[in-house]
């Protein structure tokens, strides 16, 4: 008998639109789905289909127009900005396409950034950061600035920053979009390993079928409407 995992993300009747002047442009329409804990889900779709918007809504960095998003049993759509910020700091790790590291901070300092919002001591933060950089294979590059790292290495640092607080959820928006094939493979393997070995729930937006192939579940968005495909 299959072991049904509890959903860590529950989305109900979610809709989102943007205003451009007086024009209202619908981006997502009546989205409903669950993401079981520990799953690796890929969100695919053509450009403009709303996949990044959906990811942002799940991660709590954008607000829905209608509908609810429950993450870990909490309704994040009813949280205030301050509550959301605190919730994100503790529960969500972000991996962006363009790495988005702070250029004036070293790899160590970039990874340490989320830990500044915790009560960890300097020594404890150091231990966490070193362990995380070790996990992503960059222990020997801690004092390097992003400009001194390759694209693949920068993305590893970004992944380390995303996981250093041991979040409930990892969201990745086109994590390999700016990398060459070899680096992209390395990053995908790292992400898959985080899911496989550490049980991280991962939601990855991608337009690359090869990248999506790493996920357990693929969902396709087209013009703001979700098609299910596993």
Partner 1 sequence: MHILKLIFRNALRHKLRTALTILGITIAILAFGILRTLVSAWYSGVEASSSARLISRNSISLVFSLPLSYKEKIRQIPGVKGVSYAIWFNGTYISEKNFIPNFAVEPKTFLELYPEYLLPEDQKTVFIRDRKSAIAGRKVAERFQWKVGDSITLKGTIFPGTWEFVLRGIYYGAEKSADETQLFFHWNYLNERLKKTTPRRADQTGVYIIGIDNPDQAAEISEAVDKTFKNSLAETLTETEKAFQMSFVTMTQAIVTVIQLVSFLVIIIIMAVVANTMAMTARERIGEYAIMKTLGFGGWHIVILILGESLVITMIGCVLGIILTFPGAGYFGNTMGNFFPVFDVSAMTLLLDVAASFLVGLIAAAFPTWRAVNIRIAEGLRRIG
Instruction: Return the number of the residue (124 or 189) whose C-beta is nearest partner 1.
Output: 124
Coil, strand or helix at 178: coil
- Whether the CB-CB separation of 95 and 158 falls below 8 Å is answered with yes
Nearer to partner 1, 4 or 122 (CB): 122
Return the number of the residue (156 or 214) whose C-beta is nearest partner 1. 156
Among 25, 32, 75, 116, binds partner 1 (CB under 8 A): 116
The reply to whether 25 sits near partner 1 by the rule CB under 8 A is no
- Least Å distance between CB 229 and partner 1? 26
- Rounded-to-integer distance, Cα 99 and Cα 88, Å: 18
Residue 157's Cβ-count burial label (10 Å; 0-12, 13-18, 19+) is buried
CA distances from 177 to 103, 134, 141, 164, 205 (A): 20, 24, 23, 23, 10
CA dist 112 and 46 (Å) reads 35
Residue whose pair of structure tokens reads 């009560």 in the numeric block = 119
Supply the minimum distance, in Å, between the C-beta of residue 135 and partner 1: 19
Contact region for partner 1 (CB under 8 A) — 112-120, 181-189, 193-201, 206-214? 112-120
Each residue 151-190 as x (binds partner 1 by CB under 8 A) or -, in order, gives ----------x-----------------------------
> Quick check: helix, strand or coil at residue 141?
helix
Q: Is 102 in the site for partner 1 (CB under 8 A)?
A: yes
At residue 3, the 3 state secondary structure works out as: coil
Q: Is residue 88 at the binding interface for partner 1, with CB under 8 A as the rule?
A: yes
Q: How buried is residue 207: exposed, middle or buried, by Cβ count under 10 Å (0-12/13-18/19+)?
A: middle
**Closest approach of partner 1 to the CB of residue 39, in Å:** 22
Residue 131 engages partner 1 in binding (rule: CB under 8 A): no
Q: Which residue ranges make up the site for partner 1 (CB under 8 A)?
A: 53, 56, 59, 61-62, 81-82, 85-86, 88-90, 94, 96, 98, 100, 102-105, 108-109, 112-114, 116-117, 161
């Amino acid at each position: 008998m299959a072991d049904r995992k509890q959903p860590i993300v529950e989305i109900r009747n979610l809709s989102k639109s943007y205003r451009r002047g007086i024009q209202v442009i619908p981006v997502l329409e009546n989205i409903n789905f669950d993401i079981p804990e520990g799953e690796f889900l890929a969100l695919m779709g053509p450009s403009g289909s709303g996949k990044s918007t959906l990811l942002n809504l799940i991660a709590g960095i954008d607000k829905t127009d209608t509908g609810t998003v429950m993450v870990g049993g909490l309704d994040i759509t009813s949280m205030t900005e301050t509550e959301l910020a605190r919730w994100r700091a503790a529960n969500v790790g972000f991996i962006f396409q363009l790495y988005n590291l702070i250029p004036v901070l070293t790899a160590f300092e970039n990874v340490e950034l989320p830990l500044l919002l915790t009560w960890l001591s300097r020594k404890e933060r150091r231990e966490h950061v070193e362990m995380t950089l070790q996990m992503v294979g960059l222990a020997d590059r801690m004092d390097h600035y992003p400009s001194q790292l390759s694209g693949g290495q920068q993305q590893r640092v970004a992944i380390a920053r995303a996981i250093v607080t041991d979040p409930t959820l990892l969201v990745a928006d086109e994590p390999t979009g700016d990398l060459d094939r070899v680096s992209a493979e390395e990053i995908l393997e790292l992400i898959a390993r985080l899911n496989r070995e550490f049980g991280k729930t991962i939601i990855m937006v991608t337009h690359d079928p090869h990248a999506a192939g790493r996920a357990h579940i693929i969902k396709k968005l087209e013009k703001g409407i979700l098609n299910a495909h596993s």
